[in-house]
Amino acid sequence: MLGVALRLVRRRAVAEEVVHDAFLQVWRRAASFDPARGAARPWLYAILRNRALTILRGEGRMELVEDFEPMGLVSEEEAPDAAVERLSDGGRLRRCLEGLEPQRRNVVVLAYIQGLSHGELAGRLGVPLGTVKSWIRRSLSALRECMA
């Protein structure tokens, strides 16, 4: 499936995101599969293809900006790691945040402490908007599970 996604979107990171999103969709819609209408493999690939096309259409609406300083978009606020360091050493939130991958932790901190929108994060990090949204969604899910 990764090979098919890679042929469709032509970038490995985006292809991995497409496959991940497709499997999430398959998981959520498994009850809608009807073996009388066809085999499972074409159903899976149709979901994958539709997800890839949706992401490609969404990228057409996204504009990436290489240099933020002339636009005044570089934040003078503290770095995301510094914000995490301010949390108490024994606190659950800090422990859970430190359990996330550094890039995903930074995305969550930038979004929720510095108030950056998903679009601003995508532009700043140079990744597709859907990737930022899924990183935040998965990171918040992991934090919720860790805090429970």
Please answer whether residues 48 and 18 qualify as being in contact, where contact means their C-beta atoms are separated by less than 8 angstroms.
yes
137 in a domain, yes or no?
yes
Same domain, 34 and 82: no
CATH number at residue 48: 1.10.1740.10
CA distance 102 to 35: 42
Same domain, 55 and 78: no
CATH number at residue 112: 1.10.10.10
CA distance 59 to 11: 12
Same domain, 93 and 44: no
Same domain, 54 and 77: no
Within 10 Å of residue 113's Cβ, how many Cβ atoms?
14
Please answer whether residues 2 and 19 qualify as being in contact, where contact means their C-beta atoms are separated by less than 8 angstroms.
yes
CA distance 18 to 131: 9
59-99 pLDDT, tens digit per residue, is 654 444 444 443 333 444 556 666 666 665 557 777 888 88
114 DSSP 8-state letter: S
Q: Which of 28, 59, 90 is the last residue of a domain?
A: 59
Same domain, 86 and 47: no
Same domain, 49 and 73: no
Domain that holds residue 12: 2-59
**81 torsion bin: left (phi>0), alpha (psi -120 to 50), beta (else):** alpha
64 in a domain, yes or no?
no
13 in a domain, yes or no?
yes
Q: What's the pTM value of the predicted model, to 2 decimals?
A: 0.45
CA distance 50 to 131: 16
Same domain, 81 and 48: no
22-70 pLDDT, tens digit per residue, is 999 999 999 999 889 888 988 998 899 888 888 877 765 444 444 444 3
Same domain, 122 and 141: yes
Please answer whether residues 15 and 58 qualify as being in contact, where contact means their C-beta atoms are separated by less than 8 angstroms.
no
Same domain, 88 and 111: yes
Please answer whether residues 116 and 133 qualify as being in contact, where contact means their C-beta atoms are separated by less than 8 angstroms.
no
> What total of structural domains would you count in the chain?
2
39 DSSP 8-state letter: -
